[in-house]
Structure 1
Amino acid sequence: MPFDASEYGRHIPADVYDDAFAHLDPTEAVDRLAALAEGGPVCEFGIGTGRLALPLQERGLTVAGVEGSSEMAGQLHKKTGGDRIQVAIGDFASTRVPGEFSLVLLAFNTIFALPDQAAQVACFRNAAAHLRPGGRFVVEAWVPDPGAFRAGAALRPVRVAQDEVLLEAALLHPAEQRMTTTKVRLTGTGVDLLPANHRYAWPAELDLMAQLGGLVREHRWADWTGRPFADDSRDHVSVYRRPVSA
């Protein structure tokens, strides 16, 4: 599958996407994001079907978003309150939403959905362009672990439950810092395939992208609870801030 968010929405029906990730509890993320937004408006890049956007709106925040898949945005707008969320359809590395925001969000490893380093740098610059002075850009991503692959391939369980098994098959392309993946969802009613590509980047590389975009790192945590980021952390939540002009 190409690096194309519109293709992602066509390959993975939005209702299947929601079902596959329904086990993820957004509460800790929403608590942290609401605090970081400090009551101001939020723009989510890759807003999807509203897993974070809708509960943020329920907290009284104004939420807008950018989404590459019209199918995903359509699913969001069908949900209660979703029709009040403005969504621009396009590439979140370049698409603008009108206004200034106190927080821009790029969650759930979506930074890696961009095809190369240049597009990821452009995304940081686009986030900075959306922020008011002092505003924050929050990125949630996994830490690359090439050692988890054997002969360039890996198969891992993501979720094992009585009524569902979710597996991920992946091929590693280290010369391009790229992974080709397909999640395989097995249920009593059949099999669903959720393909995706990733252009992965290490946390330090993301920090440099932020600097190129005029942002300064404020925090890095191991998860949404604010647990310290450490040598063995497999994920990170990084907060970058647009400086307040003197």
Structure 2
Amino acid sequence: MDDYGPETYGELNADVYDEWHAIDPTEAVRFLAELVKEGPAGPVLELAVGTGRVTIPLAAQGVDLRGIDASEAMVARMRAKPGGERIPVTIGDMADVAPDTDDQFAMVFVVFSTFFFLMTQEEQVRCFANVAQRLLPGGRFVLECPMPDVARYDRDQRVEAHHVGLDQVRLTAVRHDPVAQRFEGHHVLITNGGIRLAPAFMRYAWPSELDLMARLAGLECRGRWGGWRREPFRGQGNYVTVYEKPATPAS
């Protein structure tokens, strides 16, 4: 696993990502579009833009979208979709935020569980700091994250079946490191033609830890919800947090 880098997940999963993670982006797009209207005028950046599941429909609403992603294969999938070819994308580590431009952003966002693909606490802290530096005063950093459910792991490991059919079986096999707060796993696709492995590693963080990262970067928490519909957060499932850069620096 020493060869696992920021681009690895996307390069090995791009061709099946949309099929395996067919999540309706409607509510996320509505939430983000409303937030853009409330904030300062300026472009919006998606970290780990991937295949454009959220960015393409958000751009279709007239939002000035940019993206960054470490995987050329994922971005190629986005480019092949209607509207995807018009969105400027930088190939690079999302912790660097926007290394090839001096643009300031009205909003930066990252969805699904992708922020946790930054594999160390140091990388996650660096991402927060870089986001804060690139946000306009009053700009927002929006994260969708899964609440870690470590109780699922018996002896710090878990195998789960996601699909069982006549011609294929899809599993995940994961080991949990509670000290490093890491999940190290594989998607395993078994078919009559053979076995395919696609690694997926994550370094999870608790909501309070994310809040501390934000505070260190000079951002303030403006709200946390149990989803894109602003339902109450009850400590489980995916949740959405909005951080804001103060309009005036703290004295």
Q: TM-score, normalised by structure 1?
A: 0.90
Query: Is contact 2:42–2:104 with CA below 8 Å preserved after alignment?
Result: no
Which residue in the other structure is 1:104 paired with?
108
SS in 2 for 1:182: strand
Matches within 5 A, 1:77-92: 77-92=79-94
SS in 2 for 1:93: helix
Query: Is contact 2:112–2:238 with CA below 8 Å preserved after alignment?
Result: no
Query: Is contact 2:97–2:131 with CA below 8 Å preserved after alignment?
Result: no
Amino acid at match of 2:223: H
**Structure 2 gaps, min length 5:** none
Cα distance, 1:102–1:152 mapped onto 2, change above 3 Å: same
Q: Size of the alignment, in residue pairs?
A: 243
Deviates further, 165-174 or 24-33: 165-174
> 2:176 matched to 1:177?
no
Cα distance in 2, alignment partners of residues 188 and 229 from structure 1: 43
Cα distance, 1:204–1:3 mapped onto 2, change above 3 Å: farther
Amino acid at match of 1:67: D
Cα distance, 1:164–1:106 mapped onto 2, change above 3 Å: farther
SS in 2 for 1:25: coil
Which residue in the other structure is 1:131 paired with?
135
SS in 1 for 2:16: helix
Cα distance, 1:75–1:143 mapped onto 2, change above 3 Å: same
SS in 1 for 2:201: strand
Query: Is contact 2:171–2:187 with CA below 8 Å preserved after alignment?
Result: yes
Query: Is contact 2:97–2:127 with CA below 8 Å preserved after alignment?
Result: no
- C-alpha deviation, 1:159, in angstroms: 6.0
Which residue in the other structure is 1:52 paired with?
54
- Superposed CA deviations along residues 176-205 of structure 1, whole A, max 9, x for unmatched, are 111112223467987653311111110100
Which residue in the other structure is 1:31 paired with?
30
The two structures, once aligned, show a CA RMSD in angstroms of 2.3
Amino acid at match of 1:19: E
> 2:228 matched to 1:217?
no
Amino acid at match of 1:11: L
